[in-house]
Chain A
Amino acid sequence: MISGAEIMVKCLQEEGVEILFGYPGAVICPFFDKLYDTDIKAILVRQEQNAAHAASGYARAMSKVGVCVATSGPGALNMITGIATAYMDSVPMVAITGQVRSDVLGRDVFQEADITGACESFVKHSYLVKNTADLPRVFKEAFHIASTGRPGPVLIDVPVDVQQGEIESFEYPDKVNIIGYKPSVHGHPLQIRRAVEMMEKAERPIICAGGGVLSSGAKLRLREFAAKTNIPVASTMMGLGTMPSDDPLFVGMIGSHGTKAANIAIHEADLIILCGARVGDRAVASPDQVVENANVIHIDIDPAEIGKNMKTTIPIVGDLKNVLSQIVKEVGYRAPDEWVTHIGALKQQYKTAPVSFDGFVEPKSFLEKLSSMLRQKAILVADVGQNQIWCANSFKVSDGRFFTSGGMGTMGYSVPAAVGAKFARPNRDVVAVCGDGAFQMSLNELATIAQNHLNVKVIVMRNTVLGMVHELQDFHYNSRYAVTELSDIPDFCKIADAYGIGSAVASTNEEAEAIAAKMLKSDKPFLLICNVHPNTPSK
């Protein structure tokens, strides 16, 4: 006989899960108890939301399903923001929650919450498991759904009696059979041919790379495509890292917080090739205007994204990795050099010198400098707010990665996501950059960092205000700083000290660079506080 809890653990082993992030509670105890006997690492975070963010950071760094676990009721509810964050950024994740006994479900017992109901709109799929015997099939399906097609989070809610229940034996299915779920992975050959023909006629083509390029593992394919065709590449925030920042074909980030050159280029183009980009409102504010003079080829694994935000001339549904290979094989086109030169000129023309303040760190030049100090394949996790924009525009990615909460814009994402990324890639530099607002939403994870001796570096851009909204108030609310002043509380170094983590404060770029150089040499976690002037602009 084998218990449900043991089955759950075996399923994770079958799926090759090596680590999960969680927070226990009474009704998930049977599972954690069985997990205790295995090699799967269970990392105790300090709040459930961070379990999901950590699993997300891990998933993105490993290109593998991240797993997070919480108990019923408040535990599961706390995890929602993390799950929704992963959903908006299409991160493969399996979230497991304990649930109250199935015979008392719906009676509002202690720590009961309808978590499958609550998560309905931000999971790719969810299960409330009523029979122990269903567990192997459910786990098999969940991992399959989370990691195939357009990736996303899948929730498995398991009542405690289902974990305790026993069945004869464990057998893991080797195949899934979900009749309604068969994502297409190859682009339709006819559409590919039409797309290639359309390219031939283009005079001002541009590729717009989104997060889908990275989640499909098509980064090198896209670089090959751009190099072969001489087509310039702009990127959305989620697509940053697709092209090396210093590549002459890279135009920059588009959108309300992107570069002027990239936005002009998109508007001037006569052919836009969207690759795994859903062109959300922050990427292209007025898509109708953009498509007025341009044809659009949209490649995406999710057919629902095609035509949702931008009118499409040629839709291609499929996995970018395959579609780009198909296109590269057929295409013989090269974009005119004048167009590429013109874009190079735009980049030069709109280069702005950052505004600096005496006695404060200028974040953009510091981040640019930091990029050159990190080792190859470094992972930078940006939080949300002004720090996100500074990082997105100034951090130079070459062969490393840039993670951030792009879709949901969840403050507090960076530190726990960096924790997950570091567990995934222990030999790479992992740096979290956040503001003093976001940092205070997840500084409790310093405990997870310290407890696990994780070499995560945290850089806090401390401007004593909620910078992004503060700036908005300057523009639109007559500089009335309603509820955006954080003050200089707390002393972050004392907090770091309490966790046994080294720290230092920088008030000039020279200081910041010197401290960064030193901290990057050490294999210990470190907290670098950069004093930033509250009036430092986002762009």
Chain B
Amino acid sequence: MKYTLSVLVENHPGVLSKVSGLFSRRGFNIDSLAVGITEDSSISRMTIVADGDEYIIEQLEKQLNKVIPVIKVRTYSSNEFISRELSLIKVNCPAKQRLDIMKIAELMDAKIVDVSLNTMTLQFADTIERFETLVDLLKPYGIREIVRTGTVAIEKDSVVSRK
């Protein structure tokens, strides 16, 4: 099962390697990892999507907590957070297909950020499920390159306040 972990860390050099090293040496599988500073510039947030069972995720949380510059670890359960991933997709696009792809982009709420003679690049920010749908739709045209940021997530207040 996929788990989304939100990890607050001190914004020091070397912290990323301490955290990512932990995954490999303890044999945890990591799907994506996104890092950026928070509203407090001395603190960064890492959003990690990892694969595993309950035991692995519990171990992962505990081991992360042992890393000195790690301030806080939270594992989100499915309903209590909003997650997004930014992706850039470069797709084959000869002039005669431009309209088709523009339609797909419009339908999926993707933004066209670059057009050349033979390609079109879409920018897409949504959930992984929606991303996969978009990719399925674009596949027949020939996808040249995909760049993804990895998932970032934030807690939903609407759910929390109802608890």
Q: Which of B55-63, B83-91, B102-110, B119-127 contacts A (4 or more CB under 8 A)?
A: B55-63
Which of B10, B17, B55, B69 makes the CB contact (< 8 A) with A120? B17
Which of A181, A307, A308 makes the CB contact (< 8 A) with B68? A181
Nearest Cβ on chain A to B57's Cβ, whole angstroms: 12
Which of A116, A121, A178, A303 makes the CB contact (< 8 A) with B65? A303
Interface string of B42-71 (1 = CB under 8 A from A): 000000000000010011001101111111
Closest to A127 in B: B14
Instruction: Please tell me the number of chain A residues within 8 Å of chain B, measured between CB atoms.
Output: 17
CA distance A204 to B42 in the complex (A): 53
Say yes or no: A307 contacts B58, CB within 8 Å: yes
Say yes or no: A180 contacts B59, CB within 8 Å: no
Q: Which residues of B contact A180 (CB under 8 A)?
A: 9-10, 67-72
Say yes or no: A121 contacts B25, CB within 8 Å: yes
Interface majority SS on B: helix, strand, loop or mixed?
A: helix
Say yes or no: A179 contacts B10, CB within 8 Å: yes
Known: A303-B62, A304-B62, A308-B59. A178 touches B21 (CB 8 A): no
Q: Which residues of B contact A303 (CB under 8 A)?
A: 62, 65
A145 interface contact, C-beta 8 A: yes
CA distance A302 to B65 in the complex (A): 10
Say yes or no: B71 contacts A179, CB within 8 Å: yes
Q: Which residues of A contact B72 (CB under 8 A)?
A: 180
Say yes or no: A120 contacts B21, CB within 8 Å: yes
Say yes or no: B68 contacts A178, CB within 8 Å: yes
Instruction: Please tell me the number of chain B residues within 8 Å of chain A, measured between CB atoms.
Output: 20
Say yes or no: B62 contacts A117, CB within 8 Å: no
Closest to A116 in B: B14
Closest to B18 in A: A120
CA distance A121 to B21 in the complex (A): 8
CA distance A82 to B55 in the complex (A): 31
Nearest Cβ on chain A to B7's Cβ, whole angstroms: 10
Which of B9, B10, B17, B65 makes the CB contact (< 8 A) with A304? B65
Interface residues of A in 108-126 (CB under 8 A from B): 116-117, 120-121, 124-125
Interface string of B14-29 (1 = CB under 8 A from A): 1001100100010000
Interface string of B142-153 (1 = CB under 8 A from A): 000000000000
Instruction: Tell me which of B17, B58, B68, B70 has the highest count of chain A C-beta atoms within 10 A of its own C-beta.
Output: B68
A128 interface contact, C-beta 8 A: yes
Q: Which residues of B contact A308 (CB under 8 A)?
A: 59, 62
Interface string of A475-503 (1 = CB under 8 A from B): 00000000000000000000000000000
Binding site for A on B (CB under 8 A): 9-10, 14, 17-18, 21, 25, 55, 58-59, 62-63, 65-72
Using A178-B68, A180-B10, A304-B62 as known contacts, list a sample of 6 further A-B pairs with CB atoms less than 8 Å apart, ordered by residue number in A.
Answer: A117-B17, A180-B9, A180-B68, A180-B70, A180-B72, A304-B65
24 A–B contacts from the bound complex (CB under 8 Å)? A117-B17, A120-B17, A120-B18, A121-B21, A121-B25, A124-B68, A125-B68, A128-B14, A145-B68, A178-B68, A180-B9, A180-B10, A180-B67, A180-B68, A180-B69, A180-B71, A181-B68, A303-B62, A304-B59, A304-B65, A304-B66, A307-B58, A308-B59, A308-B62
Closest CB pairs A-B (n = 8): A304-B62, A180-B71, A125-B68, A121-B25, A180-B70, A181-B68, A179-B71, A120-B21
